[in-house]
Structure 1
Amino acid sequence: MTFLRSVSVIAAAAIVLGSGAAAETRVTYKSAKAGSSYFQMAVQIAEAMKKGTGGDVSVTVEESQGSVQNVMEVRARGGDYVFTTPPALIGLAQGGKAMFEGKGDPAFDEIRALFPIPSLTMHFVMSADSGVQSFADMEGKTILLGSGSFGAREGAKYIELFGLEGKVTVADSELSNAVNALKNGQIDGFVTAGSWPAPNVIEAAASTGVKVLSLDDTQIEMSKRTRLTIPAGTYAGQSEDITTTSLPVVAYTTSKMDDDTAYLLTKTYWETREDMAGDAAWWAGVSTDMLSNITSRIHPGAIRYYKEIGAPLNDAQM
């Protein structure tokens, strides 16, 4: 599939039924940079919405420069706007904190969640030849973190938190070079964050053999991130579950969206998720259990669907 800067999935022409015509619902979905896994997910969601509604929903996917931009655009968007961001940013925006300090807006209080999508998942990938089985074993090894990404920042944070600062060599190279560098023995491991299964980890596991490290309970608590389990067999040679951390990501809209549209989008998403998983394995890890990651209010239209299927919701989400 070719991913353009802006991908538009257009619904089929309205079918005339008697003297009337079926109304087309148009939605703009703003996600991530073109070429990223999250942009690809957005395209898959757009296609699933078209197929799942028989062409009644038309989703236009817009490229984004990041989650902060997605939230900021709430101020100028209408009821057709859907965007993705980690739940933590919603709390910061509504509280006018961190990157939203001095930029508060009443529109942020109208943000409402729809459904969770695959989380950003931390992978600490070590070559089988390195002999590394735990974080303590990383001492004296060369690790590639990349630069500028969530994974690079998070990886550097963990190295400091777990007492490895100054004890590992951080390779000066981009993450795109990680698999080749691992194959050639230039590095002992790399850190990457993305939806699982991660393409670069799949490649490394299949071509050179790797050990993806698990975090223990104390390390997960120190990270202040969400626990996530990557099931055994996800990667070549992986005989046990991997316990790691993640940054949840959720699709949001605002209270400007009407209840019927929010209901339709949410219902169609969950009813087509299994089909999407057949095309891309990262959807297989999404379940209604991940609704617990939503820390702010859910749209009433989405709540209607969740009540229909008996999904667990808490008071803060209502």
Structure 2
Amino acid sequence: MYFRKTLIAGSLVLGAAATGLAAETRVTYKSAKTGSSYYQMGVELAEAMKAGTDGEISVTVEESQGSVQNVMEVRARGADYVFTTPPALVGLAQQGKAMFEGKSSPQFEEIRALFPIPSLTMHFVMSADSEATSLEDLAGKTILLGKGSFGANEGAKYLELFGLSDDVTIADAELSNAVNALKNGRIDGFVTAGSFPAPNVIEAAASTPVTVLSLTDDQIAETKRTRLVIPAGTYAGQETDIVTTSLPVAAFTTTQMDDDTAYELTKTYWEQKEELADVSRWWNGVTPELLENVTTAFHPGALRYYEEAGIAVPATN
């Protein structure tokens, strides 16, 4: 296993080797908070880039306070900058809407996509004893949502959207306590969002019988989120597919990055994906079909790889 939690400092060095890259091309990857699954993904990706290019690409993984910050930093970053964010946020930034209102910048128009990474996936995890098999069955149950996270906010939104807010008791506890609370019967279920397989769902399913709820296609349409299927067998005791919602996430750069570097980053990412999945199973959730969720134009270097590989990209490119 090539994975080591090593961060390789540096900035981008451009050169003219046969591949278009210098002996060492250094890239900064703006990820998420230290300790989060997305920060761990960044470290894994850095190691994959190093291994897949024989050290020609080195990646520094930087901690981030969130996707909005990642987008905002485009204004002050250079050609070495790669960052992760939901594609929808890039669109909002380019339109100067929502959290980007009054903060428009010409640099936002230079953002270009590289490749998708694992999506934020909603999990409604219920104890088997609760006998809940659908969202409607949450009525009368005690649910732990956590506080402040995407999953907590999204879970609360769904309860409101489907008329369950007054019928569900929200446990006053942190999500980190969810598995123990479920095992001890203090809650009937919890809501979490993360790339699947989610570590806390793996732990819950391994320690007590659980049911991860599916949403109907009509419910998914009401949420205005992206439909995602968690294959049967992902979690212990899961005999059928789980149909749920997700928030796509992708890696982006800007037009300042040269085409050869963007090409090598994209090519190496897809060629190393099998090895990445050997390190963490959440990389199995990334397929070329996720490119359809990217509404931003792709970097010309990335497009060169997709054309060579025969991988279709959205019609906007």
TM-score bracket relative to the smaller structure: over 0.9
Residue 103, structure 1, aligned to residue 84, structure 2: no
Alignment of 1:82-121 (within 5 A): 82-121=82-121
Partner SS, residue 126 of structure 2: strand
By how many angstroms is 1:9 displaced?
6.6
In structure 2, do the counterparts of structure 1 residues 155 and 22 end up closer, same or farther at CA, with 3 Å as the change threshold? closer
Contact 2:140 2:167 in 1 (8 A): yes
SS in 1 for 2:65: coil
Q: Give 3-state SS (helix, strand or coil) of 1:152's partner.
A: helix
Q: Which residue of 1 aligns with 2:219?
A: 219
Partner of 1:243 in structure 2?
Answer: 243
Amino acid at match of 1:38: Y
* Residue of structure 2 equivalent to 1:13: none
**Distance 1:273-1:2 versus aligned 2 partners, 3 A rule:** closer
| Per-residue deviation, 1:3 | 5.7
Match of 2:275 in 1: 275
List per-residue Cα deviations over 1:61-107 (Å, max 9, x = no partner): 00000000000000000000000000000010000000000000000
Q: 1:32 to 1:136 in 2, by over 3 A?
A: same
Q: Give the distance between the partners of 1:102 and 1:61, measured in 2 at CA.
A: 29
Contact 1:143 1:171 in 2 (8 A): yes
The whole-number CA distance in structure 2 between the counterparts of 1:202 and 1:80 is 36
The equivalent residue for 2:48 is: 48
1:1-318 aligned at under 5 Å gives the runs 7-8=7-8, 23-316=23-316, 318=317
Asked if the contact 2:291–2:314 (Cα under 8 Å) also holds between the matched residues in 1, the reply is: no
Provide the rounded CA distance (Å) in 1 between the counterparts of 2:76 and 2:307.
31
Preserved contact between residue 9 and residue 46 of structure 1 (Cα < 8 Å):
no
Give the whole-Å Cα distance in 2 for the aligned partners of 1:237 and 1:267.
36
Give me the whole-angstrom Cα distance separating, in 1, the residues matched to 2:206 and 2:138.
22
The answer to whether the Cα contact below 8 Å between 2:294 and 2:314 also exists between their aligned partners in 1 is no
**Cα 1:2–1:180 shift into 2, 3 Å:** farther
* Cα shift at 1:285: 1.1
Q: Distance in 1 between matches of 2:194 and 2:22?
A: 39
Normalised to the residue count of structure 2, the TM-score between the two structures is: 0.94
Aligned alpha-carbon RMSD (Å): 1.7
Give the 3 Å change call, closer, same or farther, for CA 96–311 of structure 1 in structure 2: same
Q: Distance in 2 between matches of 1:261 and 1:2?
A: 23
Q: Which amino acid aligns with 2:193?
A: A
- Look up the equivalent residue of 1:62 and give its one-letter code: E
Conserved 8 A contact 1:9-1:47? no
Moved over 2 A (4+): 1-4, 7-10
Cα-to-partner distance string for 1:216-259 (whole Å, 9 max, x where unaligned)? 01100000000000000000000000000000000000000000
When normalised by structure 1's length, the TM-score is 0.94
Q: Secondary structure at the match of 2:8?
A: strand
Q: Percent identity over the alignment?
A: 72
Unaligned runs of 5+ in 2: 11-16
User: CA offset at residue 276 of structure 1?
Assistant: 0.6
Once the two structures are superposed, what CA deviation does each residue of 1:22-53 show, in whole Å capped at 9, x if it has no partner? 62101000010000000000000000000000
Q: 2:13: which partner in 1? A: none
Q: Which residue identity is paired with 2:97? A: K
2-structure distance, mates of 1:33, 1:133: 34
Cα contact 1:9–1:50 (8 A) shared by 2: no
Q: Please give the alpha-carbon distance, in whole angstroms, between the structure 2 residues aligned to 1:141 and 1:3.
A: 41
Cα shift at 1:138: 1.1
